[in-house]
Amino acid sequence: MAQPQLVIMGAPGAGKGTQCAKITEEFGIDHITTGDALRSNKEMDISDMDTEYDTPGEYMDQGELVPDEVVNAIVDEALSQADGFVLDGYPRNMEQAEELEGMTDLDLVLYLDVGEEELVHRLTGRRLDPETDEIYHVEYNPPEDPEVEDRLVQREDDTEETVKERLRVYQENTEPVIEHYEEEGVLERVDGEQSPDEVWEDVKATIEDAA
Ligand code: AMP
């Protein structure tokens, strides 16, 4: 059987990162995440692309989308090297969805469904350990080691103001993409407000059914 080719969708904070780590381990496929790829290339010079700002970081720090041209190129390159994948953070709008159709076929689009109030709570409380890249939450998942607690940092775009803007931008751009995949019959919804283990049970079963 060919390796699964998936897109995972859900608002920022819906738990995509947590589930993707489990998916890649279970199915042995690549995790392609545009958010991480862009964070590693925040200072990349894109001034020759006729964009408003000269680097991806300037868009990201304001919660705006990085121009399609930049993101499409990142995804195209990563897909060409993958044998099975879970694509995370892309497509974020209909233009990207159309571009993706020209690059590859999809077995399944998984949608992690989480309400807005819960999303804001999750994101503003999220903290990162810069030494291990481990993710914590001040309330749901604080570190046991006080030394780790002291060095935790907040992602620059996890402040309340930027979070609300990211959720607004997400909804505005991504709603049509979700409707599009729903009409095509490839979208499956999973209740993302359950515990991470319960979400994983549903996610795993849904992928196995689609493959
Ligand atoms: P994320 O980690 O997925 O929440 O992404 C963080 C930021 O990276 C977003 O707020 C956007 O500025 C940028 N970004 C990630 N994926 C995309 C995408 N597919 N299209 C445009 N910008 C993106």
pLDDT in tens, 73-130: 999 999 999 999 999 999 999 999 999 999 999 999 999 999 999 999 999 999 999 9
Catalytic residue among 22, 42, 151, 155: 155
Say what the pLDDT of residue 91 is: 97
| 166 is known to lie in a ligand binding site | yes
Q: List all residues 6 or more positions away from 128 whose beta carbon is below 8 Å from its beta carbon.
A: 134, 135, 136, 152, 153, 154, 155
Buried b (16+ CB within 10 A) or exposed e, 157-189: bbeeebbbebbebbeebbeebbebbeeeebbbb
Say what the pLDDT of residue 50 is: 82
Q: Has residue 166 been placed in a domain?
A: yes
Q: Has residue 90 been placed in a domain?
A: yes
Q: Has residue 144 been placed in a domain?
A: yes
Q: Has residue 21 been placed in a domain?
A: yes
- Across the range 141-164, mean pLDDT stands at 93
Question: Is the confidence at residue 211, as pLDDT, over 80?
Answer: no
Q: Has residue 126 been placed in a domain?
A: yes
Question: Is the confidence at residue 1, as pLDDT, over 70?
Answer: no
Q: What is the CATH number of the domain that holds 117?
A: 3.40.50.300
**Could you list the residue range(s) of the whole structural domain that residue 17 is in?**
5-29+82-210
Number of domains in the chain: 1
Q: 116 alpha carbon to ligand 1 midpoint, in Å?
A: 18
Q: What is the mean pLDDT of the chain?
A: 93
User: How would residue 4 be classed by pLDDT, with cut points 50, 70 and 90?
Assistant: very high
Q: 35 alpha carbon to ligand 1 midpoint, in Å?
A: 5
Q: Has residue 121 been placed in a domain?
A: yes
- Across the range 171-177, mean pLDDT stands at 93
The torsion angles phi and psi of 188, rounded to 5 degrees, stand at -125, 130
Q: Are strands 5-9 and 108-113 parallel, antiparallel or unpaired?
A: parallel
Buried b (16+ CB within 10 A) or exposed e, 86-101: bbbbbbbbeebbebbe
Helices 160-184 and 116-124 pack at an angle, to 10 degrees, of 130
Say what the pLDDT of residue 51 is: 86
Q: Which residues line ligand 1 (CB under 6 A)?
A: 12, 34-35, 38, 59-60, 63-66, 71, 89-90, 92, 96, 157, 166
- Across the range 58-64, mean pLDDT stands at 90
Query: Is 166 known to be catalytic?
Result: yes
| 155 is known to lie in a ligand binding site | yes
Render pLDDT for 17-56 as a digit per residue (tens, 0 to 9).
Answer: 899 999 999 999 999 999 989 998 899 999 988 889 999 9
| Entry pTM | 0.86
Say what the pLDDT of residue 19 is: 96
Say what the pLDDT of residue 62 is: 87
Q: Has residue 109 been placed in a domain?
A: yes
Q: Has residue 63 been placed in a domain?
A: no
The protein residue whose alpha carbon is closest to atom 14 in ligand 1 is: 35
